[in-house]
Structure 1
Amino acid sequence: MQLKTKSRLKFTIASLLIVIFAYILSNGLIIGDYQIKSLGSITKLGLDLKGGVYIEEEIKGENISKDTIDRTKELIELRVNALGVNESVVTVTQQNRIRIEIPGVYDAENALKQIGKTGKLTFRGPNNDIVITGEDIKDASVGVNQQTNQPVVQLKLNESGTKKFAEATAKYQGKVISIYMDEELVSAPVVKSVITTGEAIIEGSKDIEEAKRLAGIIKSGALPVELVPATVKTIGPSLGADAIPTSKKAAVIGITLVMLFMAIYYRIPGIIADLALAVYIMLTMLIFTTALKATLTLPGIAGLLLSVGMAVDANVLIFERIKEELKLGKSLRSAVDAGFNRALPSILDSNITTIIAGLVLMWLGAGQVKGFALTLVTGVVCSLFTAVTVTKFLLKNFVNSNWIENKKMYGA
């Protein structure tokens, strides 16, 4: 097969796939019992868009260890999740406070009771009978199974706990003894043998972080520190009701203007850049909603819209280089190759400096500043990828297809 035919086939298939994926991610797809949800339906909205309860809990006491603060945060997350909210945000601030944002919940008093209650840890048998409680546990730590090299939680029981656990493991050998914090299931290990020594291991953690989390919950069934509400606010959903349609409108207008500018000013390369921009938007939103499972806030939307404008910045650098090469009398293929190669150092410099600034904001910032920085960094990384791979693939195959050979249509 000739290079021209291969290039035409590659370009056509790639363009069709971009259009098809854009439609599916925008509208969703149902095939029989299988459903692909649209990006809009799986995007989690933050407190400023959805409304809800904003709480800052102050940790009382001095010289409190980071481990204790982390365990307190984990227990609060469990209690907030018990309210049935998936978009909640629990973060530790630098002032020894824990900030809690609970979108979609407007009863601040009930939320405070849920967060600050004493808490009860229980190990329960298959019939929901209580085997041991947090009072029977002496210690819980993280270790590694020497045979499987997998992280485990090492459990040490006191005298009463040892006796109870020996009876329970004998009774429920081969069955599950579930671990609950309040009424929230945190783990469901299977009893593999009778344990009479008062020392046991809990397997099944995916990684060391999950094992640390479980050990921290078991180690402190109750909140390990005293919390005092410092700030309690209820935010109505009216802001989100206005902000969401306005943001959608701004996104459509902004993206449309950027695409029109690229198509009019750079012609064929500009149209191809628009296809790459569609890939960029889809990739960014997929990473944001599925991989990072991030919550979208107003600053996050601002960061996303800003990154859309920056996404074409790399293409502008490349296309200007291509125009220069064409004016020097080079062929289309040579100009495209030279344009990408010579623009790459400048693209890397500009994007890396932006990423560094975004990472600093994520490290030192808090709350909405972090949301802005997260979307900005995600967008810049995705734009770098689409500019040096997607745009290059599409443009080179279009040039090789010989559909349009007039250099003026490429900016010359």
Structure 2
Amino acid sequence: MLTLSRWKVLLVILSVVAGVLFALPNALPKDVRESLPGFLPKQTLNLGLDLQGGSYLLLEVDLKALKAERLNNTIEDVRTQLREEQIVFSDLGLVGDTISVRITDPGQYEAATRLLRQNIGSDLPGAVGGRDIRVTTEADQRLRLALAPEAMDAEGRRAVEQSQEIIRRRIDELGTREPSITRQGANRIVVAAPGESDPEKLKAILGQTAKLTFQLVDETADIVAAQEGRVPPGSVLVPGDQVQPFYVLKRRALVTGEMLTNASAGFDPQTGQPVVNFRFNGEGARRFANATTQNVGKRFAIVLDDKVISAPNINEPITGGSGQISGNFTVESANDLAILLRAGALPTRLNVEEQRTVGAELGADAIKAGQISTIIGFAAILVFMLLAYGLLFGGISIVALLVNGLLIIAAMSLTQATLTLPGIAGLILTLAVAVDANVLIYERMRDEVRAGRTVAMSMDAGFSRAMSTIIDANLTTLLAALMMFQFGAGPVKGFAWTLSIGVLTSVFSAVLITQVLLAWWYRAARPKTLPIA
């Protein structure tokens, strides 16, 4: 074990050099880091919410609203299918959590049943021949449509996963580094945004569904009657803009926001007012061109989250696949809307269940407390190792410990891991556990010397016979850390991640670096006795 193989020496040298290169940016001012050559690493440690300060939100995905929207869309699908097949019906609407419709002509009842079972809904994954909308027959020529429970469960899971991804894209647009976005329970999402000190702005960006649709205005509808509840079938009453308080719109959207490929804030060249410029994908451009070609002279409404932003006239076909949204925007509100449209619409609204703000001063206090704790812990280890094993062997352990700390910082900077206050606790624990391997090796050397073996044989046995114990101890710690990382959340993950990196670097530094340094000392000194015997 004391043979100085070239690969061991080379590995130690390369590791130390790499550790210095990747850890050094943390000690350099920002302007110095930015002036470094492009081939040198510039990443620094990302400080978590508790160290840097920022905003914390607990959001709940509104699954009830998601189900209501799905049922309302299904009502429109039923109306369209029956009208296309010229099947006369009445009393189409929601009854609790189901859809009820009466087929007026008894002779069309069976045809309507087959039609809806074949065309409404989609195939249910995992069920051969199953549909996510179930159609049942009832008395008085009625049909009832209900969402399959397993279909709603799957849709709820997809909504939460989609919401997580859209939240991440929206926060990335804000420039927040390393946000923590984790699922909690069945339908809750925890958002921790370090450096974002305004939770209200975060709520405004994340809480808005940003569902954009382009819908025709129903010019034949009576606004007053609609406000009293008499909305024409196939239309919907929507809050309006400053021009008109309410609009009656055709429920079926011409184009939706999912077909946007880009959105950016800009200014109207004629009025100089802030606007949002947008561009459709190929399918959206085709549908928008067809809709505007067929409805020249009519009005279409630009609707955001069930509220009309503007309702311009279609003066001519719009075939370029791009356009602009105007609506009394400020520069900031136009930019925020562009961010929302680029990130995509949430599948349903998010309700804010809890919010907290961590000030930068509190984060600075936490960093200071962590630094003091680390220094005290390191000093205690230093004193113990020097008293227990002397200046030489204890000093070599401290050198290995310093390299270990350097490698941890380098690894976290390289992987852009987020350092939290529990992560600092994991770092301190790693320092204590790191010297445990040296203690095992040194104590084994003492035992071998007492058994009458030579210095070389004792040192060799200290490494070889302690290795199995070191690997067992660190492997169990690593497994525990991985379990915490897998099933934990927030601070627990920060602790587990730091501990996992620390275990790997500890074994490397405490065994390989210590072995190389002791081998160099042995070759140079050729001692007759061990200083720790």
State TM-score, norm by structure 2. 0.55
**1:70 partnered with 2:161:** yes
The amino acid of 1:85's aligned partner reads: T
The whole-number CA distance in structure 1 between the counterparts of 2:389 and 2:21 is 25
Equivalent of 2:355 in 222, 232, 239:
232
**1:382 partnered with 2:505:** yes
The whole-number CA distance in structure 2 between the counterparts of 1:234 and 1:42 is 24
Equivalent of 2:52 in 50, 53, 63:
50
Equivalent of 2:280 in 123, 126, 132:
132
The whole-number CA distance in structure 2 between the counterparts of 1:32 and 1:57 is 37
Shift of 1:260: 3.0
Equivalent of 2:440 in 310, 313, 317:
317
> Relative to structure 1, is the Cα distance of residues 352 and 186 closer, same or farther in structure 2, using a 3 angstrom cutoff?
farther
Shift of 1:183: 4.3
Shift of 1:161: 7.4
Given that 1:25 and 1:282 are in contact with CA atoms closer than 8 Å, whether structure 2 keeps it comes out as no
* Match in the other structure for 2:233: none
Shift of 1:56: 0.7
* Match in the other structure for 2:375: 252
* Match in the other structure for 1:343: 466
Q: Deviations over 1:289-309 (max 9, x none)?
A: 221x12211111111111110
> Relative to structure 1, is the Cα distance of residues 21 and 103 closer, same or farther in structure 2, using a 3 angstrom cutoff?
closer
The whole-number CA distance in structure 1 between the counterparts of 2:477 and 2:455 is 32
- Stretch deviating more after TM superposition (387-396 or 245-254): 387-396
The amino acid of 2:422's aligned partner reads: P
> Relative to structure 1, is the Cα distance of residues 186 and 406 closer, same or farther in structure 2, using a 3 angstrom cutoff?
farther
* Match in the other structure for 2:429: 306
The amino acid of 2:61's aligned partner reads: I
Shift of 1:68: 3.2
**1:282 partnered with 2:373:** no
- Stretch deviating more after TM superposition (390-399 or 346-355): 390-399
Q: Please say which structure displays the higher CA radius of gyration.
A: 2
The SS at the match of 2:191 is: strand
* Match in the other structure for 2:365: 242
Shift of 1:131: 3.9
Q: Deviations over 1:324-357 (max 9, x none)?
A: 1122232322222211110011111111111121
The amino acid of 1:160's aligned partner reads: R
* Match in the other structure for 1:153: none
Given that 1:263 and 1:270 are in contact with CA atoms closer than 8 Å, whether structure 2 keeps it comes out as yes
Q: Deviations over 1:178-198 (max 9, x none)?
A: xx99646999xxxxxxxxxxx
Given that 2:207 and 2:352 are in contact with CA atoms closer than 8 Å, whether structure 1 keeps it comes out as no
**1:123 partnered with 2:123:** no
Given that 1:315 and 1:387 are in contact with CA atoms closer than 8 Å, whether structure 2 keeps it comes out as yes
**1:86 partnered with 2:177:** yes
The SS at the match of 1:100 is: strand
The SS at the match of 2:403 is: helix
The whole-number CA distance in structure 2 between the counterparts of 1:104 and 1:23 is 22
The whole-number CA distance in structure 2 between the counterparts of 1:370 and 1:74 is 20
The SS at the match of 1:391 is: helix
The SS at the match of 1:99 is: strand
Shift of 1:95: 3.8
Shift of 1:397: 2.4
Alignment of 1:363-382 (within 5 A): 363-382=486-505
* Match in the other structure for 1:195: none
* Match in the other structure for 2:527: 405
Paired positions, count = 340
Given that 2:205 and 2:340 are in contact with CA atoms closer than 8 Å, whether structure 1 keeps it comes out as no
The SS at the match of 1:238 is: helix
Unaligned runs of 5+ in 1: 138-156, 170-179, 188-216
Shift of 1:359: 1.6
> Relative to structure 1, is the Cα distance of residues 181 and 161 closer, same or farther in structure 2, using a 3 angstrom cutoff?
farther
The SS at the match of 2:525 is: coil
Shift of 1:25: 6.1
Q: Deviations over 1:274-317 (max 9, x none)?
A: 111111111111112221x1221111111111111001111111
Equivalent of 2:385 in 251, 262, 271:
262
Shift of 1:362: 1.5
Alignment of 1:197-216 (within 5 A): none
> Relative to structure 1, is the Cα distance of residues 234 and 338 closer, same or farther in structure 2, using a 3 angstrom cutoff?
same
The amino acid of 2:467's aligned partner reads: L
The amino acid of 1:307's aligned partner reads: T
The whole-number CA distance in structure 2 between the counterparts of 1:397 and 1:285 is 27
The whole-number CA distance in structure 1 between the counterparts of 2:377 and 2:421 is 16
The SS at the match of 2:174 is: coil
Given that 1:48 and 1:298 are in contact with CA atoms closer than 8 Å, whether structure 2 keeps it comes out as yes
The whole-number CA distance in structure 2 between the counterparts of 1:223 and 1:304 is 38
**1:160 partnered with 2:287:** yes
* Match in the other structure for 2:397: 273
The amino acid of 2:188's aligned partner reads: R
The SS at the match of 1:34 is: coil
The whole-number CA distance in structure 1 between the counterparts of 2:42 and 2:386 is 27
Q: Deviations over 1:58-110 (max 9, x none)?
A: 01215245443222111101111222211321111124211111222222221
Equivalent of 2:449 in 307, 322, 326:
326
Alignment of 1:346-365 (within 5 A): 346-365=469-488
Alignment of 1:98-109 (within 5 A): 98-109=189-200
The whole-number CA distance in structure 2 between the counterparts of 1:125 and 1:370 is 36
> Relative to structure 1, is the Cα distance of residues 163 and 34 closer, same or farther in structure 2, using a 3 angstrom cutoff?
farther
> Relative to structure 1, is the Cα distance of residues 72 and 277 closer, same or farther in structure 2, using a 3 angstrom cutoff?
same
The whole-number CA distance in structure 2 between the counterparts of 1:101 and 1:371 is 13
Equivalent of 1:295 in 396, 410, 418:
418
Shift of 1:263: 2.8
Given that 2:22 and 2:411 are in contact with CA atoms closer than 8 Å, whether structure 1 keeps it comes out as no
Given that 2:16 and 2:403 are in contact with CA atoms closer than 8 Å, whether structure 1 keeps it comes out as no
Given that 1:332 and 1:407 are in contact with CA atoms closer than 8 Å, whether structure 2 keeps it comes out as yes
Shift of 1:367: 1.4
The SS at the match of 1:326 is: helix
State TM-score, norm by structure 1. 0.70
The whole-number CA distance in structure 2 between the counterparts of 1:300 and 1:310 is 15
The SS at the match of 1:78 is: helix
